[in-house]
Amino acid sequence: MMKYEIKKTFRAKEVIVWLILFPIIMGTLYKFTLGNIFSGNQFSAVRLAVVQNTDDGMFRNIMDNMEKTDPPYVKLTYCSSEEEALSLLYKNDVTGVVVIDPAPETGEKKEDAFDLDTVDTQAILDQYLSTGTVNAFDDQGANDFLTKYLDGDENGYVKDYLANFTGGEFFPKTHITLKLRKNGMDETMAKKMVMMYINMQNQVREMMDFTHMTAESGDMISKAMNGQDNIVEPLQLTTGNTDPFSSYMYNLIAMVAIFGSLVGVGIAQTHQADMSPEGARRSCSSLPKSISILACFFSYCISMAICVSICITFLTLVLGVDFGSRLPLVYLSGICGGIMGVAMGFFLGCVGKMSPGARSGFVMALNMTLCFLSGYIVMGIKGILEHNAPIVNDLNPAAIICDSFYYLNMDAGLERFIGQLLKMGIYTAIFVILGFILTRRKKYASL
Amino acid sequence: MQVFKLFFLIARSKIGIGILYLVIFLAICFPMVHSSNQQVDFEETRLNIHVDDQDQSEASRLFAEELAKKHGIVKLENNRETIMDALYYQIIDYALVINPGYGNNLANLSEEAAPQSLFATFHLNDSYKTAMMDLYLKDYVRNVRLEIAMGKNLPDAIAGAEAMLSTKVDVEMVSPPEDDFRNEGFTDKFATFFRMLCYVLIAVIPNVLAPVMLAMNGEDQKKRIACSRVSTSSYLFQLFAASAVLTVLIWAVFMIGGMFLYGGIYQGINCWLAVLNSFVFAIVSVMFTIFLCSFRMGNTAIGMISQIVGIGMSFLSGAFIPQSMLNASVLNVAKILPGYWYVRAVDILSGAQEGIMGDFWVCIGVQAGFFAIFLAITIILRSHHPKRKRVKAQATAKA
- What pLDDT, in 10s, does the model give residues A361-372? 788 878 888 888
Give whole-number Cα distances, A290 to A286, A298, A340, A435, in Å. Answer: 12, 12, 19, 11
Strands A232-235 and B170-173, bridge-based pairing: unpaired
**A222, A147 Cβ separation under 8 angstroms:** no
A43 contacts B131? CB cut-off 8 A: yes
Sign of CA dihedral A411, A412, A414, A415: negative
Select, from the ranges A137-151, B234-248, B290-304, the one with the highest average predicted confidence (pLDDT): B234-248
Please tell me what DSSP assigns to residue B179.
G
Report which listed range, A34-38, A271-275, B59-63, B299-303, is most confident: B59-63
CATH of A44-226, one of 3.30.70, 3.40.190, 3.40.50, 3.30.420: 3.40.190
Which chain B residue is nearest to residue A236, measuring alpha carbons?
B122
Return the SS3 of B11: helix
In chain A, residues with a C-beta closer than 8 Å to the C-beta of B87 are: 237
d(CA A228, CA A248): 38
Is the pLDDT reported for residue A399 higher than 90? yes
Decide if A207 and B150 are in contact by the 8 Å CB cutoff: yes
ipTM attached to this prediction: 0.73
Paired sense of beta strands A174-180 and A96-102, if any: antiparallel
Task: Please state the domain extents for chain A.
Answer: 2-38+241-439, 44-226
Query: Could you tell me the CA-to-CA distances from B277 to B200, B201, B203, B241, B345 in Å, in that order?
Result: 14, 12, 17, 21, 7
Beta carbons of B303 and A358 less than 8 angstroms apart: no
For A296-311, the pLDDT digits (tens) are: 899 999 999 999 999 9
Across the interface, of B132, B149, B326, the residue whose CB is closest to A220 is B149
Averaged pLDDT for residues B309-318: 85
Burial of B308 from C-beta contacts in 10 A (0-12 / 13-18 / 19+): middle
Tens of pLDDT, residue by residue over B385-397, are 555 555 556 666 6
Contact B174 A198 (CB under 8 A): no
| pLDDT score at A432 | 93
Mean pLDDT, range B4-17, rounded to an integer:
78
Quick check: B214 and B13 in contact, CB under 8 A? Answer: no
- Does the pLDDT value for residue A41 go beyond 60? no
For B48-165, which CATH class?
alpha beta
Domain boundaries, chain B: 2-37+181-398, 48-165
Residues A374 and A402: beta-carbon distance below 8 Å:
yes
Distance CA A38, CA B326 (A): 10
At A418 the pLDDT is: 95
Half-sphere exposure of B337 (CA within 13 A, CB side): 23
Q: How far apart are CA B15 and CA B305, in angstroms?
A: 19
Provide the CB-side half-sphere exposure for B269 (13 A, CA): 8
Q: What percent of chain B has pLDDT over 90?
A: 10
Chain B residue closest in CA terms to A149: B149
pLDDT mean over B216-230: 76
The percent of residues above 70 in pLDDT, for chain B, comes to: 84
- Looking at residue B326, its amino acid is L
Contact B174 A22 (CB under 8 A): no
Sheet with B72-73, side-by-side order of all strands: A232-235, B119-122, B94-98, B48-53, B72-73
- Model pLDDT, residue B36: 42
pLDDT tens profile A86-126: 888 888 788 889 998 887 765 554 444 455 455 566 666 66
Q: How confident is the model at residue B38 (pLDDT cuts 50, 70, 90)?
A: very low
Q: How far is residue B244 from each of residues B8, B15, B117, B251, measured CA to CA in Å? A: 12, 15, 67, 10
| B314 vs A contacts (CB less than 8 Å) | 377
A72 touches A66 (CB < 8 A): yes
Residue A53 predicted with pLDDT over 80 = yes
Q: Are B149 and A217 in contact (CB under 8 A)?
A: yes
Cβ–Cβ gap A231/B330 under 8 Å = no
CA distance A446 to chain B (A): 26
Residues of B in contact with A180 (CB under 8 A): 42, 171-174
Confidence band for B9, pLDDT divided at 50, 70 and 90: confident
DSSP three-state, residue B182: coil
pTM given for the model: 0.74
Q: Tens of pLDDT along A330-351?
A: 999 999 999 999 999 999 988 8
Which range is least confidently modeled, A40-44, A133-137, A332-336, B320-324? A40-44
pLDDT of amino acid B304: 75
pLDDT band at residue B341 under the 50/70/90 scheme: very high
Question: Hey, are the CB atoms on B174 and A195 less than 8 Å from each other?
Answer: no
Please report the pLDDT score of residue A171 as a whole number. 61
Q: Which of B93, B44, B52 is nearest to B69 (CA)?
A: B44
pLDDT higher for A425 or B199?
Answer: A425
Task: Tell which of B174, B299, B332, B350 to mutate to test the A interface (max A CBs under 10 Å).
Answer: B174
Question: At residue B172, what are phi and psi to the nearest 5 degrees?
Answer: -120, 130
> Mind listing the pLDDT tens digit for each residue in B236-283?
778 778 888 888 988 898 888 888 877 778 888 888 889 999 999 999
User: Is the per-residue pLDDT at A158 higher than 60?
Assistant: no
**pLDDT at position A425:** 95
Chain A: residue whose CA lies nearest to B171: A178
Mean pLDDT over B97-121 rounds to: 80
On the question of pLDDT at A224 being above 90, the answer is: no
The C-alpha atoms of residue B137 and residue B114 are separated, in whole angstroms, by: 15
A96-102 vs B119-122, strand pairing mode: unpaired
pLDDT at B353: 76
Q: How many CB atoms are closer than 10 A to CB B40?
A: 8
Instruction: Please give the interface size between A and B, counted as residue pairs whose CB atoms are below 8 Å apart.
Output: 247
The C-alpha atoms of residue B265 and residue B272 are separated, in whole angstroms, by 10
